[in-house]
Structure 1
Amino acid sequence: MNRYLFICAGTVLLGVGGVVADGVLKSAQVCAAEEQVSFKGDIQPLLKWRCSGCHEGTGEGVQKSGLDLSNYAGLMKGTKFGRMVIPGDPESSNLMMLLDWRVAPAIRMPHGKKQLSSCDRDAIRTWIRQGAKDN
């Protein structure tokens, strides 16, 4: 699995992002450009590792929701209740709501298991923000 790194630069100087207020230079935080996240290299292996037990083939998650995470088409098709991914908008995507546990405990994912790490959730969030491409 390819891994990427969120790199946040510390202080940015005046002329590059600093701000002068009341004669005092205030620093600003800036994040370096993020690396492109790949569905095939980053997201699909993560989904296979953490979600395929229920959301593949005849798994319980497929039977209950209709969500098949075995491939890109299944993820983008969504569930019988609606879309899971809104390309470009991770915070409104149902997938992120479920994975971030911003929903009722009974439907948090992965159901009955430990929450995905913040790093894994950030990878999915970044992929969605970058357009949720089949790359």
Structure 2
Amino acid sequence: MTVHSRLFLLLLLLSGCYYDVEEELYPSLECQVENVTYTGTILPLIRDNCYTCHDKTSNFGNVTLEGYDNLKIYVDNGRLLGAIKHEPGFSPMPQNRAPLLECEIQKIEEWIRQGAPDN
């Protein structure tokens, strides 16, 4: 075996040796629902996913989710959760777009569980 071949094999073996911290490579994928607020969490989700069709100007389906008081109507009657969770008897939302991520739905559910405060 030539020197070049040995050196190549040594480098090949050494290149496969490394140590990574698993937590750094694969951070926790748990959904963080602590400290969910209307202003900091819910409003951005609703604005980014719903206002295209359900702001005060568009008002598709005669549904306006812009503003806390308007959103609260659909929280209280169950239509918001029914729609975003694609439950039977509800129009699945957002329409013609990817559904909300499970973590986003969990954040909305937690906010509702807290009484849907205007915070």
TM-score tier after normalising by the smaller chain length: 0.5 to 0.7
> Residue 75 of structure 2 corresponds to which residue in structure 1?
85
Structure 2 CA distance, aligned partners of 1:100 and 1:63?
19
1:27-81 superposed Cα distances (whole Å, 9 cap, x missing partner): xxxxxxxx2310000000111111110011221xx1423x2222101112x3xxx
Match of 1:94 among 70, 74, 79: 79
How big is the alpha-carbon RMSD for the aligned residues of Structure 1 and Structure 2? 1.9
Normalising to structure 1: TM-score of the pair? 0.59
Number of residue pairs aligned between Structure 1 and Structure 2: 89
Q: Which has the larger radius of gyration?
A: 2
| 1:111 Cα deviation after fit | 1.2
Moved over 3 A (4+): none
Normalising to structure 2: TM-score of the pair? 0.67
Percent same amino acid at aligned positions?
31
| 1:104 Cα deviation after fit | 4.8
Question: Greater strand percent: which structure?
Answer: 1
| 1:94 Cα deviation after fit | 1.8
Consecutive unaligned residues of structure 2, counting only runs of 5 or more, are 1-30
